[in-house]
Amino acid sequence: MPSRVSRRRLIFGAGSVAIGAGIASQLKVTQASGFLARPSGDYVDSHVHVWPKLTEKYPLDSKFTPADVDPEAFTPEEIIRLGQKEDVQRVVLIQMSFFGFDNSYMLDCISRWPKVFRGVAIIDHDAPEVAAKMIDLKRRGVRGFRLYANAKNVATWDSSPGIDAMFKTAAETQQAICMLSDPEVLPTIERMATKYPNTRIVIDHFSRIGMRGEVDQRDLERLCKLSRFDKLYVKTSAFYALGQKKEPYKDLLPMIKQLRDAFSANRLMWGSDCPYQVQGPHSYASSFALIATHADFLDENEKKAILGKTADKVFFQD
Ligand SMILES: [Zn+2]
C-alpha cells in the first residue's frame, strides 16, 4: 500500500459452498501435505494484488513503466500457497494500478479459480455506460470497485454523474465501493455515506491512519464516527505500512480495539495487502497472527468475523 506511485488492490471472494474444497482441490493438494488434515479455518484475505511477469497479453497502463513493477510478479499461485499455511481459503483480489482500467488479468484469475477469488475492479467513472459495466463485471466475479479517495479526487465527486451512477448502481448490485482513502477525506466519505445510505462502502487500511507513524487519535475518532452507517466497513489491513511498521505490529492493537468497540467485528475485515506484506522483514504469518493470536480482546467469534466472515458476507455472497 505505501508506494510512491498510486497503489492498487483487489478484493476477492469465492463461492460460499465447498470452501474446504476450494483451494485444496484446485491446487490438487494431497493428504501428504498435511493441509487437508487441518480443520478448515475458512478464512478470507480481503486485500491482495496479483500480477504476472510483464507480457504483451497484459500491457501496463501508460502511467507506468517496467521499472515501476516491483516485485516483478506476484501470482495467484503464490497467494494461494501463502494462504494455505493459515487456512486462508479465499482471497479478494484488488485491481493492480499497473493495469489502469484494464481489469483483464484479475478477471482471468477469477475465472481460473472461481471458488478462491473475487475481485475489486477499477473502472473509469467518467466513461459512458458505468452502470452496464458494473453489472457485467458482477457476472465475472467483481464485487467491488476501487476509488482513490484523496483530496484532489474527491473534490470532483459532487459534480460527477459517473460517481453518482457508481454509488447508485452499487446499491442495486450489492457491489461495494472500496476507498483507498487518506484520513483527510473522512468528512467526504461521511457525506457520501449519508447521500447513499444503501451503498456498501469499504474503507481500506484503516483509512491509512498511522501511515506517517503515530496513530492520530482525532483521525481515529473521525473514522469511528462512521460506524453509525450500517453499510460501512473497515479493513484492518496493511500492517507493514502503519504505526511502527514492525512485526509483530502490536502497536496497532489499540486502534483495532477501538474500531471493534465502534463497528463490532462484523464490520471489520482483515487483509494482508500482499505482495507488500511479504517484502523485506515482513511476513504473511505475522499479519495473520496480529488478529488470530495477539488481539486477545477479541473472542473466537470476533476473530472469525474479522478473519473471514465479514469479507465473506461483503464479497462472496451474491
Ligand atoms: Zn494494496
Does residue 179 fall inside a structural domain? yes
Taking the C-alpha atoms of residue 207 and residue 68, their distance in angstroms, rounded to an integer, is 24
CA of 124 to the centre of ligand 1 (A): 19
In the three-class reduction of DSSP (H, G, I as helix; E, B as strand; rest coil), residue 274 is classed as: strand
| Ligand 1: centre distance to CA 7 (Å) | 6
Give 2's pLDDT tier (boundaries 50, 70, 90).
very low
Q: Average pLDDT in the 137-164 region?
A: 97
Question: Which three cell numbers mark 265?
Answer: 467485528
* Residue 26 · residue 115 · CB < 8 Å: yes
Residue 311: C-alpha distances to residues 45, 128, 165, 267, 307 (Å): 8, 30, 24, 9, 8
- How many angstroms does the Cα of residue 126 sit away from the middle of ligand 1? 23
Distance from the alpha carbon of residue 15 to the mean position of ligand 1, in angstroms: 23
Given phi > 0 = left and psi -120 to 50 = alpha, else beta, which region is 279?
A: beta
CA of 274 to the centre of ligand 1 (A): 7
Asked if residue 171 is part of any domain, the answer here is yes
Percent of the chain at pLDDT > 90 equals 86
Does residue 3 belong to any structural domain of this protein?
no
For residue 32, report the distance from its CA to the centre of ligand 1, in Å. Answer: 34
What pLDDT, on the 0 to 100 scale, is given for residue 85? Answer: 93
How do residues 61-75 score in pLDDT, each as one tens digit?
999 999 999 999 999
Q: Is the dihedral of CA 51, 209, 189, 234 positive or negative?
A: positive
Instruction: Output the CA 30–ligand 1 centroid distance in Å.
Output: 31
Instruction: Tell me how far the alpha carbon of residue 97 lies from the centroid of ligand 1, in angstroms.
Output: 9
Residue 33 is assigned to a structural domain of this protein: yes
* Ligand 1 center–CA 190 separation, angstroms: 22
Q: Name the grid cell of 192.
A: 457520501
Q: By residue range, what is the domain housing residue 124?
A: 10-316
Within-domain flag for 5: no
Instruction: Return the pLDDT at 14.
Output: 33
CA of 210 to the centre of ligand 1 (A): 15
- Place 318 in a pLDDT band, splitting at 50, 70 and 90: confident
Residue 1: inside a domain = no
37 Cα to the center of ligand 1, angstroms: 32
Residues lying with their CB under 5 A of ligand 1, a single-atom ion: 1, 7, 9, 273
Q: How far is the CA of 276 from the centre of ligand 1 (A)?
A: 7
C-alpha 275 to ligand 1 mean position (Å): 8
Distance in Å, CA 238 to ligand 1 centroid: 7
CA of 125 to the centre of ligand 1 (A): 20
Per DSSP (E only), the strands in 175-311 are 176-181, 200-203, 232-237, 268-271
Task: pLDDT band for 1, please (50, 70, 90 cuts).
Answer: low
**Identity at 138, one-letter amino acid code:** K
Whether the pLDDT of residue 80 is over 90: the answer is: yes
pLDDT of residue 306: 98
Q: What's 299's domain CATH number?
A: 3.20.20.140
Q: What is the pLDDT of residues 212-240, one digit of tens each?
A: 999 999 999 999 999 999 999 999 999 99
31 CA to centre of ligand 1 in angstroms: 33
One-letter amino acid at 172 equals: E
Q: What is the mean pLDDT of the chain?
A: 90
Once rounded to an integer, what is the mean pLDDT over residues 32-53?
72
- Tally the residues of the chain: 318
Write the pLDDT tens digit of every residue in 187-210.
999 999 999 999 999 999 999 999
Q: Is residue 244 part of a domain?
A: yes
What integer is the mean pLDDT of 134-146? Answer: 98
- 242-301 pLDDT per residue, tens: 999 999 999 999 999 999 999 999 999 999 999 999 999 999 999 999 999 999 999 999
Total tally of structural domains belonging to the chain: 1
Provide the whole-model pTM. Answer: 0.88
User: If you measure from the C-alpha of residue 47 to the centroid of ligand 1, how many angstroms do you get, rounded to a whole number?
Assistant: 7
Average pLDDT score over residue span 144-156: 97
Report the separation in Å between the CA atom of 34 and the middle of ligand 1, taken as the mean of its atom positions.
Answer: 30
pLDDT tens, residue by residue, 89-138: 999 999 999 999 999 999 999 999 999 999 999 999 999 999 999 999 99
Q: How far apart are CA 232 and CA 97, in angstroms?
A: 24
Distance of alpha carbon 19 from alpha carbon 101, whole angstroms: 30
Reported confidence tier of residue 4, pLDDT bands at 50, 70, 90: very low
Angle value at C-alpha 293, between 206 and 41, nearest 5 degrees: 90
Q: What is the model's pLDDT at position 16?
A: 33
